[in-house]
Amino acid sequence: MSTQRIQPAARHGEPLLAVRDLRVTFGRRGEEPFRAVDGVSFDVRPGQTVGLVGESGCGKSVTSLAIMGLLPTRGNTVEGSAVFDGEDLLSLSAPQMRDRRGADIAMIFQDPLSSLNPVIQIGRQVTEVMERHQGLSRKEAMPKAADLLERVGIPDPTARLANYPHQLSGGMRQRALIAMALACQPRLLIADEPTTALDVTIQAQILALLKELVVETGTAMVMITHDLGVVAGLCDEVNVLYGGKIVERGDRHTLFARPRHPYTVGLLNSIPRLDAPRGEALSPIPGSVADNLPWDSACAFAPRCPNALDVCVRQTPQWDGDDVVGLRCFNPMAVSR
């Protein structure tokens, strides 16, 4: 693995990944079509860590699976583009996409136990990706796999190679999955809720590891989470997703200091804070995504929004901004809070 350091967040460089107007619609014949991702656009520049944040069901996983070409082969349509390194991933053939996955773009998932094959040794699950993309034999790849396990903080890595997933702890399993993802030095890593299934103390360790690794390797990362707290220490830029659309985007500092969208404010207020005055209850956002209005003719968030105006239920709020900052709201929070 390369250890050269690169400048974090070269902000106005060419994007490594440019997602434009991504739409994913589910539904087979005879079913009401359901648009899980509704015109999502965002950029990831080399070495940058970009957050994709929103409540469960807002389309984060579907966005990432669409980019990776991992959605089920039937029962959905994907529109828009995802240009990676000058090539639209969405128009690549299946074999071309297989060559990218694991080599140029890697992914780690939420549940480390179910994401590992229970009947294959950890070492083999690391080497197979190197065998596939780097033309190594299993024998050649094994020592590299041990190095990788060591690199992600797994003690006694050589012995662990022969272990099966059920013999490792949850945190160690997620480290092993990170090792597999980074095995071929991908330029982009997509992490879909990588800490959600883990204990709180382990969560912090895994986040620290990811942060360290992206700085060290220069890998760009898309961090998907429902928890703005995860984003706080990690992301350069944050996209807030609601009902399949991005509703606010900004750099991390601005977004945390001066959130403009009422939904972002709601998410921030529901982060548990250590410095909160005793007895101050968390204030979760009222209602649920089940209350959403259709984006076609309203703001989907309106039924849950404290700032909602009449226009919010009659008209779609348009994106006001660019690929660095932006907002989709008729009545945002005042700039000075």
Partner 1 sequence: MLRFVVRRLLQMVGVLLVLSLLVFVWLRSLPGGPVSALLGERQTEARREALEQALGLDQPLPVQYVRFMQRALQGDFGVSTQVLPGEDALDIFLSRLPATLELSFFALVIAVALGIPLGYVAARRKGTALDTTTVIFSLVGVAVPVFFTAFLLKYFFAVEWNLLPVSGRQSIGLDATRVTGLFVLDGILTREWDAAWDALKHLVLPSLALATIPFAVVFRITRASVLDVLDEDYVRTAEAKGLTARVIRGRHVLRNAMLPVVTTVGLQVGALLSGAVLTETVFSWRGVGQALAEGFLQKDYPVLQVLIMAAAAIYVLVNLLVDITYALIDPRIRTR
Reported in sequence order, the residue ranges of the chain that DSSP labels E, i.e. its strands, are: 17-26, 34-44, 49-53, 76-84, 87-88, 105-108, 188-192, 220-225, 237-242, 245-251, 320-321, 326-327
Vertex 315: Cα angle to 330 and 264 (nearest 5): 40
The verdict on 61 binding Mg ion (CB under 5 A) reads: yes
- Taking contact as CB under 6 A, which single stretch among the options 7-15, 41-49, 283-291, 296-304 is the one that binds ligand SF4? 296-304
Cα–Cα distance, 158 to 69 (Å, whole number): 33
- Taking contact as CB under 6 A, which single stretch among the options 127-135, 161-169, 188-196, 294-302 is the one that binds ligand SF4? 294-302
Q: Contact at 8 Å (CB) between 46 and 4?
A: no
Reported in sequence order, the residue ranges of 92-213 that DSSP labels E, i.e. its strands, are: 105-108, 188-192
Q: Contact at 8 Å (CB) between 149 and 179?
A: yes
- Taking contact as CB under 6 A, which single stretch among the options 55-63, 153-161, 171-179, 277-285 is the one that binds ligand ADP? 55-63
- Taking contact as CB under 8 A, which single stretch among the options 103-111, 247-255, 258-266, 269-277 is the one that binds partner 1? 103-111
**Cβ–Cβ contacts within 10 Å for residue 199, how many?**
12
Single residue of 307, 323, 324, 333 touching ligand SF4 by CB under 6 A:
307
Sheet holding 34-44, edge to edge: 34-44, 17-26, 76-84, 87-88
The verdict on 64 binding Mg ion (CB under 5 A) reads: no
Query: What backbone torsions phi and psi does residue 198 show, to the nearest 5 degrees?
Result: -105, 160
Minimum separation from the CB atom of position 262 to ligand ADP (A) = 19
Single residue of 61, 127, 203, 292 touching ligand ADP by CB under 6 A:
61
Single residue of 19, 58, 82, 179 touching ligand ADP by CB under 6 A:
58
**Which one of partner 1, Mg ion, ligand ADP, none is in contact with 20 (Cβ closer than 5 to 8 A by kind)?**
none
Q: Which of 88, 116, 93, 123 is nearest to 17 (CA)?
A: 88
Minimum separation from the CB atom of position 123 to ligand ADP (A) = 31
Cα–Cα distance, 291 to 304 (Å, whole number): 8
Cα–Cα distance, 162 to 126 (Å, whole number): 11
Minimum separation from the CB atom of position 58 to ligand ADP (A) = 4
DSSP string across 111-131: -TTTTS-TTS-HHHHHHHHHH
- Name residues contacting ligand SF4, limited to 53-92 (CB under 6 A): none
Nearer to ligand SF4 by Cβ, of 151 and 245: the residue is: 245
**Which one of Mg ion, ligand SF4, ligand ADP, none is in contact with 26 (Cβ closer than 5 to 8 A by kind)?**
ligand ADP
Query: What backbone torsions phi and psi does residue 142 show, to the nearest 5 degrees?
Result: -55, -50
The verdict on 317 binding ligand SF4 (CB under 6 A) reads: yes
Nearer to partner 1 by Cβ, of 11 and 138: the residue is: 138
The verdict on 259 binding ligand SF4 (CB under 6 A) reads: no
Residues at the site binding partner 1, with contacts judged by CB under 8 A: 68, 70, 97-103, 106-107, 109, 111, 114-121, 128-129, 132-133, 164, 166-167, 177, 180-181
Residues at the site binding ligand SF4, with contacts judged by CB under 6 A: 262, 299, 301-302, 305, 307-309, 312, 317, 329-331
